[in-house]
Amino acid sequence: MTRKVLLVGDGAVGSTFANDLLQHTKVDELIITDVVKKRPVGDSMDLEDITPFAGDCDIHPGEYSDAKDADVVVITAGVPRKPGETRLDLVNKNVSILKSIIQPVVKSGFDGVFVVSANPVDILTTLTQKLSGFPKQKVIGTGTSLDSARLQVELAKKMNVSLSEVNSMVLGEHGDTSFENFDESTISGKSLKDCNGIDDDELARIESDIRQKGGQIIENKGATFYGIAMMLAQIVGAILDNRSIVLPLSAPINGEYGIKHDLYLGTPTAINGSGISHVIEANLSDAEMKKMVNSADKMQEVLADINLD
């Protein structure tokens, strides 16, 4: 069977993802579409140059109708965050863009897995499922996977250990109401809070640094894309290879954490070739459970104001 991916959005995130995917996963056909029609033409030609090293792949520009027999549709299209903006500031701009994408993709006969990376990702992943009518396990958002990677890097630096020795995640919204699960985090198998050289003040500083890192990158170079592109490549690679992995992603909440809202939120999620195989409810302290519920409440407030008609 042909392993086929349609990429919607050929900006910095999309083009970097395409490069990462081709270098790490076998792909037979990669179609790229963007509102700026010249970009997919140039990127297709540019990406062809790595195929002698990465393996054969039919790379070409295309349209939403090409999704009809794709395994995965990756959505990175959207207005990027500007300096000083929050991810939620992008809601109204990117909801209209999302509607213009989902409807023709579904009309094409697409029956694969949607992977959403545009911001605000939890909101747009929730809306992708509602607009498409797809089963919830076939719609995935990148969620807090990037935040978690940033946290692991920061903790490894602070504790002077290898990244592989850090077990810690960011959960909830990919945004201002996210939180680090410090109460359950471990370093080299030892509780983080029992480690020498780190206290509540230091954890608060790390949390602040993680939250501000994206904005600092945007201020200095205009956009963030390396980390999220690699995360997308990991997700899509797992789907194409039917390989089970667990990441903190935007996943459908169905009573986990006592949350009653019908939405997607960052939580540990197992994925494979069929999309989401199961949502994992992290074991949280009472204080962090309240943070998770608060994050869901804030997302629901935003969702309640969106008109999809």
CATH code: domain of residue 79? 3.40.50.720
In-domain check, residue 80: yes
| Segment 114-138, tens digit of pLDDT | 999 988 899 999 999 999 999 999 9
The whole-number pLDDT of residue 259 equals 96
Q: Which residue numbers are catalytic?
A: 174
In-domain check, residue 60: yes
End-to-end CA gap in the chain? 37
In-domain check, residue 122: yes
C-alpha R_g of the chain: 19
The whole-number pLDDT of residue 111 equals 97
211 close to 176: Cβ distance less than 8 angstroms: yes
In-domain check, residue 19: yes
Look at residue 83 and give its three-state secondary structure: coil
Kindly tell me if the per-residue pLDDT of 80 is higher than 80: no
The C-alpha atoms of residue 112 and residue 4 are separated, in whole angstroms, by 10
Q: How far is CA 263 from CA 125, 224, 255, in A?
A: 9, 25, 10
The C-alpha atoms of residue 224 and residue 81 are separated, in whole angstroms, by 10
The whole-number pLDDT of residue 140 equals 98
In-domain check, residue 171: no
Average pLDDT of span 69-78: 95
The residues facing 266 across adjacent strands are 172, 250
Kindly tell me if the per-residue pLDDT of 7 is higher than 70: yes
Q: How many domains does the chain have?
A: 1
Domain hosting 31: range is 4-141
Kindly tell me if the per-residue pLDDT of 281 is higher than 80: yes
Beta-sheet pairing, 190-191 with 186-187: antiparallel
Q: Which amino acid is at 77?
A: A
Helices (H), the chain: 12-24, 38-48, 51-54, 91-107, 121-132, 145-159, 200-221, 226-241, 286-304
Kindly tell me if the per-residue pLDDT of 162 is higher than 80: yes
Q: What is the DSSP letter of 308?
A: -
In-domain check, residue 266: no
In-domain check, residue 159: no
The whole-number pLDDT of residue 43 equals 97
The whole-number pLDDT of residue 15 equals 97
The whole-number pLDDT of residue 87 equals 58
| Segment 215-226, tens digit of pLDDT | 899 899 988 999
| φ and ψ of 188, to 5 deg | 55, 35
